[in-house]
Structure 1
Amino acid sequence: MQAVSIGPLIFAGDRLAAIVGIGAFMAVTWVLSSRLDPRIGRWSSWALIAGLITARLGHVIENTASFAAEPWRILAVWQGGFSWPWAAASVVAVSVALVRTRRTAIGAVVSLAIALFAWNVVWQLTNATPSTPMPHVALENIKGGDTSMTAFMGKPVVVNLWASWCPPCRREMPMMAEVAAARDDVTFLFVNQGERRTTIEGYLNKEKITLSNVLLDARTDVPRHYATPGLPVTLFIGTDGKLQSVHVGEISREALSGALSRLLAE
């Protein structure tokens, strides 16, 4: 599954891979700087700073229309959203400017190679998504009666696991509701985890959020079925009812749009 739990912390697979890769880069360059050439440390600091800034800047530029409507999200880095080709270009530029000796060049190549290897290992270990079928469980519909998720098969389905006490869920919910209302090619199911009907209705009414398909998962059967940790989690399910991809944590408008495009393409 595309998430890893470490004690109370939950990391999406791609983010954990990035953290491990950056950690490996910093550790290796620290060792090489102290034992091989101090200039490697100066290069690595500027390469890391420039890489992260330009990766975020590149993502914003690639999604200008989306960020123009909500410019504050440029700083919402917790949602993810980095363009690594931009980062690679900036690292190359920093290297051209600062790498002047053979030792520094060797240190740069070794540290980047080890960082990329560490990133790739974690990515490969966490990137697999099992083709899990929809669970055959009856969930209470907020409009009354029981509904099974399998009743929505035949059309791509997006399942958002959420709760009103969860801050990231509350942040992403208005955007999710907006996208769900605008799409008729995908069915959105908002599966609440363990809350009472009155609590859910109170939250939606207070925030003036309208959702078409709200299901109550009182026993948290759905996350157990898919083995997903934490909230929020967004599941992307194909027309055959099998899981295609998972997004763990708060999802951005760009990430949702990209996942929907891949879901419809498959």
Structure 2
Amino acid sequence: MPDVLAIGPLAVNAHVLVALAALLIGLMVTQGVARHLKTSDAGMGWLLLLAVVIARGSFLLRHLQEYREAPLSLFNLRDGGWDPISGWVAALLAMLWLTLRRRRRSLPLWAGLLSITLVAAGGQWFLWVQSRQRTLSQPALQRLPPMTLPALDGGMSDLRQWPGKPLLINFWASWCGPCVREMPILMAARQRYGNVQFVFVNQGESPAQVHTFLQREGLPTQDVLLDTQLALGRFFDVRGYPGTLLFDSSGQKIASWQGEFSQATLAEFLRALSAPAVASASSP
């Protein structure tokens, strides 16, 4: 998952860094233009708050059923459940309204909004180009490798033993807080998405550690594989946990996700199975 920057033990999502950089630059530009015009930069904070609320609310409405089943997940803002286009449109409409009322005072905000848009769009485009180049230059990394891993229940498991069925591989560890929080969601999702094979690949822990953890949490041991040497994790360049890959029924990688799932963001992630193009996604 190359869109993740590893800083020591921390894994930072590159898409999140782009968004934060865009916001910071936008605020700086707003303040600079306001000083130059000798006017106020008031309003940018409210504009950003409006965009965030609309972006979250739009995603919520699209996945209302999932949030009804797990209402507390609505407040988990780290789950990546945002609709940035809706947020941007809301900010644009608010700016048009403000311009009609106070044209001169709106100029710093227009400069800030334009800066945020250009930096965010440019950064995301750069990450997409880099991802596309890696896909073309390393086609082997876009397919399931001929690799077998020990299963916690015993025996060896071939990653390609489910032909004709989409496959979701979740990389996790028992010491990873987000992994622990999302594990019940993923385990339960196997019933809801029966057409998708879920596999949970533990990274670097012993069978005893994994078994003790699952027993303590009351989770099943089915489809839990052991990657004690991190071979599969290194093959796919997994730099932080939890990390999830999605493969179509032919074994082609079609989506990746870095971070914790909620029921809603998992449903959004699995929509890649019906999308015509390759998808990639991340959460903060």
Contact residue 163 and residue 193 of structure 1 kept, 8 A = yes
Q: Does residue 69 of the first structure (1) align with residue 79 of the second (2)?
A: no
Q: Does residue 47 of the first structure (1) align with residue 47 of the second (2)?
A: yes
- Could you say which residue in structure 1 is the equivalent of 2:196? 186
- Could you say which residue in structure 2 is the equivalent of 1:12? 13
Deviations 1:171-204 (A, max 9, x none): 0000000001333211111000011111111111
Deviations 1:198-230 (A, max 9, x none): 111111111111253111001111121111211
Offset of residue 13 of structure 1: 4.0
Match of 1:42, SS?
coil
Contact residue 50 and residue 87 of structure 2 kept, 8 A = yes
Offset of residue 16 of structure 1: 2.8
Q: What are the within-5 Å matches in structure 2 for residues 19-58 of structure 1?
A: 19-39=20-40, 41-58=41-58
Counterpart AA for 1:70: A
2:185 to 175, 191, 199: 175
- Could you say which residue in structure 2 is the equivalent of 1:219? 229
Q: 2: CA distance between counterparts of 1:259 and 1:169?
A: 17
Offset of residue 111 of structure 1: 2.0
Contact residue 13 and residue 123 of structure 1 kept, 8 A = no
Q: Please, which runs of 5 or more residues in structure 2 have no aligned partner?
A: 277-284
- Could you say which residue in structure 1 is the equivalent of 2:152? 142
Offset of residue 78 of structure 1: 0.9
Residues 6 and 47 (structure 1), Cα distance of their counterparts in 2 relative to 1, 3 Å cut: farther
Q: 2: CA distance between counterparts of 1:265 and 1:55?
A: 22
Q: 2: CA distance between counterparts of 1:48 and 1:2?
A: 29
Q: 2: CA distance between counterparts of 1:2 and 1:119?
A: 18
| TM-score calculated relative to the size of structure 2 | 0.85
2:212 to 187, 190, 202: 202
- Could you say which residue in structure 2 is the equivalent of 1:95? 95
Contact residue 159 and residue 235 of structure 1 kept, 8 A = yes
Match of 1:142, SS?
coil
CA RMSD of the aligned region, Å? 2.1
Contact residue 3 and residue 229 of structure 1 kept, 8 A = no
Q: 1: CA distance between counterparts of 2:2 and 2:68?
A: 30
Offset of residue 261 of structure 1: 2.2
Deviations 1:105-164 (A, max 9, x none): 433333222211111122123233635221222211111122221223432100000011
- Could you say which residue in structure 2 is the equivalent of 1:262? 272
- Could you say which residue in structure 1 is the equivalent of 2:78? 78
Q: Please, which runs of 5 or more residues in structure 1 have no aligned partner?
A: none
Aligned residues: 265
Counterpart AA for 1:246: S
Residues 215 and 144 (structure 1), Cα distance of their counterparts in 2 relative to 1, 3 Å cut: same
Match of 2:42, SS?
helix
Contact residue 162 and residue 191 of structure 1 kept, 8 A = yes
Residues 175 and 211 (structure 1), Cα distance of their counterparts in 2 relative to 1, 3 Å cut: farther
Counterpart AA for 1:55: A
Q: 1: CA distance between counterparts of 2:222 and 2:183?
A: 13
Q: 2: CA distance between counterparts of 1:58 and 1:27?
A: 28
Q: 2: CA distance between counterparts of 1:229 and 1:154?
A: 29
Contact residue 6 and residue 239 of structure 2 kept, 8 A = no
2:243 to 227, 233, 241: 233
